[in-house]
Amino acid sequence: MILYLMRHANAGLSRENPALDAKRGLVKEGKEQCMLMARVLSALKVQVDVIVSSPLKRALQTAQFVGTELGYEAKVEVSKALAPGADYASFQLLLAKYADREGVLVVGHNPNLFQFLGRMVTGNGGAAIRLRKGSVARIRMDRHPALLQWLIDPRTASSIYASVQKSSRPKTSRK
């Protein structure tokens, strides 16, 4: 299985009340991050068989926006194993459920996502891998420990996208 681990896009400032925070949706910048990252995933020819999201609104919106841009037509599945505070054992059960799939995109939150990623690629959680909002990591799960193949965040994607649009040829004078 190829696992695409994605942190939800920008949803503004968190709220102190957990019930209100769970309903916090993406802000304009977050929606733009989703579209940018979906274009990057499309350019990389990413194919997903299933998309699974945390039940919180901001993660679900991220999963839906990215899924739509990727041409994913099935319903986004929801799992508490991706909610804030979820434990690694629940995450492992979620992965086992989809072990027969080739491409799985999961959308969740920090700090548990970067902790899960660290544990998967080291076997013991000894790595601290930063996942900015909207970041996507590609992990090959057929290895032990799992192999992190790449990690792209919206800042990097935006820089690459901007530089590709400029001509790489040096400017010459035509006097």
* CATH code for position 104: 3.40.50.1240
The predicted-structure confidence for 92-148, as pLDDT tens digits, reads as follows 999 999 999 999 999 999 989 989 999 998 877 677 788 999 999 999 999 888 999
**Residue that has been written with the tokens 């991050």 in this structure:** 33
**Mean predicted lDDT score pLDDT of the chain:** 89
Residue 169 counted as domain residue? no
Burial of 41 (0-12, 13-18, 19+ CB in 10 A): buried
Residue 18 counted as domain residue? no
Residue 25: the pLDDT is 86
Range of the domain at 156: 2-10+23-161
CA-to-CA distance for 116 and 114, rounded, in angstroms?
A: 5
Q: How many domains does the chain have?
A: 1
Beta carbons of 171 and 70 less than 8 angstroms apart:
no
Burial of 26 (0-12, 13-18, 19+ CB in 10 A): buried
Residue 135 counted as domain residue? yes
- The pTM of this model reads 0.88
Assess whether pLDDT exceeds 60 at residue 175: no
Residue 174 counted as domain residue? no
Residue 173 counted as domain residue? no
- Three-state DSSP class for 150? strand
